[in-house]
Amino acid sequence: MNYRTPERAEALAAQYVLGTMSARARTRFARLSRRDPVLAAAIRAWEDRLSPLAESVAPVEPPASVWSTILARIDRAAAGSTPERRTVWATVSLWRGLALAGFATAVALALVLLSPPLERPAATLVVVLAGQDAKPALVASADRNGRLLTIKAVAPLSPGADRSLQLWALPATGNPRSLGLVPASGVVQIALPVDAGTALQNIPALAVSLEPRGGSPTGLPTGPVLYSGPVERLY
């Protein structure tokens, strides 16, 4: 399956979401999209476009047995060991409760230290992005030598359905550079073109602006800056 041209990738993503692919093509495309963020993004965009069509389907109340089976299955899973994810999330919510100005860096450090994997060399970049009230809203972190910037929302953000939050690198001189869209909750990883140490060299701060859905159409921030924070280098 040749999906290397953007047009082809787009057409295949559309057919995948609509559901017309044969079993083999479907399995293959699903596998490819797990490794390819461009395909994954194309799939998401098509889900956005087509899923409103599902709203005209009449709701049907499922039998009560469905819920009891779900409950039994998650209880059984919970009886095993608690997954790491829960611990990290629980920690986030605990810190969220504190929400005190000045605690920002402490929160960031706690997150970085508590997030797996612990064995990584601690050459870490951390940015705590806070709003006007100085409450931490997002934490960005990256391994100095890695190419992934991890963004985690640590407070509930509500950009609104037709808005996106966009992350910018603010250089000492010159225009802000977009780093990508950030989640209003949960966590997302942004791939950097080079290692984080180099990508954020001479970048004193990051900021998040409110943009039209999908991001700024101009390549520069168009909406208000909601959160910002200095880039801390822990090395």
**Contacting residues toward another protein, per CB under 8 A:** 10-11, 14-15, 17-23, 26-27, 44, 47-63, 65-67, 69-70, 73-74, 77-78, 83, 85-86, 89-90, 93, 153, 156-161, 164-165, 181-188
Sign of CA dihedral 94, 96, 99, 101: positive
Smallest gap from Cβ 78 to another protein, in A, equals 8
H-only helix segments in the chain: 6-18, 23-35, 37-50, 64-79, 84-98, 104-114, 196-199
Q: Which is nearer to another protein, 86 or 122 (CB)?
A: 86
Give the count of alpha carbons within 13 A of 184, CB side only: 13
Rounded least distance, CB 167 to another protein, Å: 10
- Nearer to another protein by Cβ, of 117 and 160: the residue is 160
The minimum distance between CB 87 and another protein, in angstroms, equals 10
CB of 29 to another protein, least distance (A): 11
Query: Residue written as tokens 């030598």?
Result: 145
Distance from C-alpha of 94 to C-alpha of 132, rounded to nearest angstrom: 21
CB-wise, 60 or 118, nearer to another protein?
60
The CA distance from 22 to 147, in Å, is: 36
